[in-house]
Amino acid sequence: MNHSAKARSARPEIRNPVLALPSARKLAEMDPVSRRAVEAVLRDLADDARARADKAWRSHKAPMAAYWKAVSVYARHLARALRSAQRLRGGADG
């Protein structure tokens, strides 16, 4: 692996594309209690969607498996963006 590829993959917006969205800044503006509550809901959603994707895959329903996998990944990225917003604000609120 060359140095530029390693540096690119270490950038937060590459690892979590949600961070590159203009509206991602609004996540950091949420109050800490709301941020933690939404993060918890998104993590639950991600876990449930992952289980649904696995079930659909075992049932040979690839399109539904792909859909639920995408839901899971996106929910997890959003939850991590909320956690990142907390750290970017100094972590004092959470």
Instruction: Please indicate, yes or no, if residue 43 is contained in any of the structural domains.
Output: yes
23 band by pLDDT with thresholds 50, 70 and 90: confident
For 42-77, write each residue's pLDDT tens digit.
999 999 999 999 999 999 999 999 999 999 999 999
- Its domain, for residue 42, covers 23-88
Question: Which tokens is 85 given?
Answer: 């917003």
For 32-45, write each residue's pLDDT tens digit.
999 999 999 999 99
Specify the higher pLDDT residue, 82 or 87: 82
Instruction: Please indicate, yes or no, if residue 7 is contained in any of the structural domains.
Output: no
pTM above 0.85, yes or no: no
Residue count (the chain): 94
Instruction: Please indicate, yes or no, if residue 3 is contained in any of the structural domains.
Output: no
14 band by pLDDT with thresholds 50, 70 and 90: confident
Instruction: Please indicate, yes or no, if residue 18 is contained in any of the structural domains.
Output: no
Q: At what angle do helices 62-88 and 32-58 cross, to 10 degrees?
A: 160
Question: How many domains in the chain?
Answer: 1
